Structure formats: C-alpha cells, structure tokens
Structure 1
Amino acid sequence: MGLGDIDGTTKSGGFLEYETQRFSTRLELPQCVDGCHDGLYGETEVMYNGAFDAFSKRVFFAVGPSIAFGEDAYNSTFFKVSVAQSAASGISQHDLGGASFLTGYTPRRSCR
C-alpha cells in the first residue's frame, strides 16, 4: 500500500508489579535498542481480582483499564503516515507524536 516495511528490533526493559488480594497493578517499560527505532514505550494496567463458584468450579477473574504509551521515536515508526506515504497509499497524513496510543479494558478469567 505504499507505507513501507518496519524492520525488526531488539528490546530490553523491565516491569513492576504489585498485588493485593483484590487489586493488582503493573507497569512495563521496554526500550527498543536496535533496528528500526530507539523509542521508549510502556504499558500499565490496574486490575480488580475476584472469584466465584460456577458449576462446581472456582472461577477467578480480573478486570480493569489499561493504557499503552510511547515517545515520538516509537510512535512514528508504527503510526506516522508521511506526505509521501499518504500520496502512495491514499491514507490520510498522520503524526501521533509522543502520546498514549491504546487504551482498553482487559478481562481475564481462569477456572480451577
């Protein structure tokens, strides 16, 4: 479509996670260190954890909001559409800059 390929990269980083009986939170910060971009990005979530019995099984669940964010170097690699790319593909020109790019609501479940 005229947008160009994105080369592979290597990333390094870490995460912090904290849990209580009812809540958990997580922050992950990987840094792309070689390849097509060198941008920092991250993901964070806050989850409510619960359980209930259904059909003689214990069902565990977690639900909560999440957000992913990145600095300009990272976001430009995946979300920027330049003037030339716009002309070649017909997709509108776009530059996200450094900002959040994904928000969501995450459900999880498991049975025992």
Structure 2
Amino acid sequence: MKSTILPSLPRILLAAAALSALPFAALAQQPGQKPGDKAEKSDWEVMLGAGGLFQPDYEGSDDYEVTPLPLLMVNYRDLVFLHGPTLGANAITLQGPNPGDKLQIGPLVRYEFGRDQSDNDDLRGLGDIDGGVEIGGFISYSTGPWSADLTLFRDVSDAHDGLTAELSAGHRLSLGPKLMLRSEISTTWADDNYTQTFYGVTATQSARSGMQQYTAESGFKDAGITFDLDYRLTENWSVTGRVGYKRMLGDAADSPLVSVRGSEDQFSTGVFVSYRF
C-alpha cells in the first residue's frame, strides 16, 4: 500500500464533495442545539473550511493518499443551497406536526469530476474519464435527530451517460454543549452505463492495461458508514473529525480494477476546521 500527498485537483474537489454530501440541515446543526430550536439567524448560512482526508486514490483502489480539503457550503433561507460542486433547491417543504419534522423535495445539478489514468499506475491503459454535468433530484425527510434521503443523478454531458441513486439514513447525537456525533449509512445503485464506464474493461483497454476484459452491469455498487465528530471551539469556529468505511458491491466489486488491482474495502479518515458566518 502506498500513500501520496500531492493529488490532482479533481481528486481534491471530489474529497470536498464527499464531505459536503450530508444534508445541510445536519451540518448546520450546532453542537448542543436541539432539533427544532428556533434561533435568530440571517437569511444566509455560509460555511468555509479546510483540512485533509486520507482516502483511496480512486474508488476501489488499495492505494491511499492524503488529500488537501477545501469546504464550501451556502444556504439561502432554506430554499437554495450550494454543497461543494452540488447546487440545489428545496422546491417543496412540508412541516410535520412536531418541531424538527420536515419533508423536502427539490432539483439538483452538480459537476461530477471524472478520473484520470495518471491518478494511479493501476489505471494505466484505461484512458481518462471526463468530468461532466449531472442533473437530478432529492427527497429528504427528517424527524428529530433522524434523517433519510434519496438522491438521483443522471449524466447529461456524455461523460458516462449513467444514472445513480443513493439512499442514506443519518442520526445526530448531542454529547454536550460543544460536542456532536453525526453518523450516516448509505448505499448507491448505478446503471450499466455508469458501472461499465468506471469498472468495465473493453477489449482495447484490456490490450493496453493487461487486465482481463470485463463487462459491468447495473446494480448496487457500494454500501458504507461514516462518523463525524464536531467540536465547537467558539460560536463560529468548529473542528470536525471523520472516519468512514465503504464496501464495494456487485459488478463494481468483481471488476479486475477492484478485485485484482484494488480492494473491496475502502477506508477514509480526516479532520477539518470550519467557520460559519
């Protein structure tokens, strides 16, 4: 196993996207603040941060790298939000009978960063996968400290022409006036266009890379769990530590890129500092 400290820009932004994946409401929740608490706040919520994440070189790799991590999250009146490379809107918001009960539905658009064969020697001969624009939508439900989300994305820029769906469930636990633990489990389904692009090996790629030719079909490609521990230094400054584990599944796990050259087990850990305006 190797590790590096100079990853490419796309992988830096991918790491930021990974840490921005949790619902904004969960990330904006301050340690010690109870769900449903009404505090005076402006129309804008902004979080800026930076840190580092130790993670695989590519999804399915057994080589790890330390990735510098920028973090940007913006929310306007709980209507429009920006989470890293993802822009969305809460088009429909339905409040439940209890404080903290909420159902939200809306559209999403994001830039999905591709994969460069120069990212890792195991990718040599497979060619680059271009980045592209994806559009989709989400359904999110929260009740008290619990939340559940379904997110769909389809590529519209001919990068992979695929469709992905992610189902996740999360929980927030206040451990004191300054400490909060967030946990989330998730799984991702992908169609055959996506899996073939990222995990398939064509005849040409096989000749160039030395890997066995492989056709990847649709199915669940991964399942994972993450834990974030937030410590509020001041009213605005916080430190967050993260540990995560993901297991590759289905045709993604059976790909020679994972089963022969990589690993089904994907670990990550990191820490970052953030400032909330």
TM-score, normalising length: structure 1: 0.84
**Equivalent residues of 1:8, 1:35 under 8 A apart:** no
What corresponds to 1:14 in structure 2?
Answer: 137
What corresponds to 1:101 in structure 2?
Answer: 221
**Residue 62 in structure 1 maps to residue 185 in structure 2:** no
Greater relative contact order (Cα < 8 A, sep 6+): 1
| Structure 2, unaligned runs of 5 or more | 1-123, 233-277
What corresponds to 2:108 in structure 1?
Answer: none
**Residue 37 in structure 1 maps to residue 157 in structure 2:** no
Q: Deviations over 1:40-85 (max 9, x none)?
A: 11212111221112xxx42122213211121111111111112331
SS of equivalent residue, structure 1 residue 35? coil
Amino acid in structure 1 at the alignment position of 2:140: E
Identity %: 33
SS of equivalent residue, structure 2 residue 128? coil
State the shift of 1:108 in Å.
Answer: 2.0
**Residue 26 in structure 1 maps to residue 149 in structure 2:** yes
Task: Indicate the structure with greater strand content.
Answer: 1
Partner Cα separation in structure 2 for residue 101 and residue 92 of structure 1:
20
State the shift of 1:87 in Å.
Answer: 2.5
Partner Cα separation in structure 1 for residue 175 and residue 178 of structure 2:
6
TM-score, normalising length: structure 2: 0.37
**Equivalent residues of 1:15, 1:28 under 8 A apart:** yes
Moved over 3 A (4+): none
What corresponds to 1:3 in structure 2?
Answer: 126
State the shift of 1:109 in Å.
Answer: 2.8
State the shift of 1:18 in Å.
Answer: 0.9
| Structure 1, unaligned runs of 5 or more | none
Amino acid in structure 2 at the alignment position of 1:51: S
Q: Between Structure 1 and Structure 2, how many residues are aligned?
A: 109
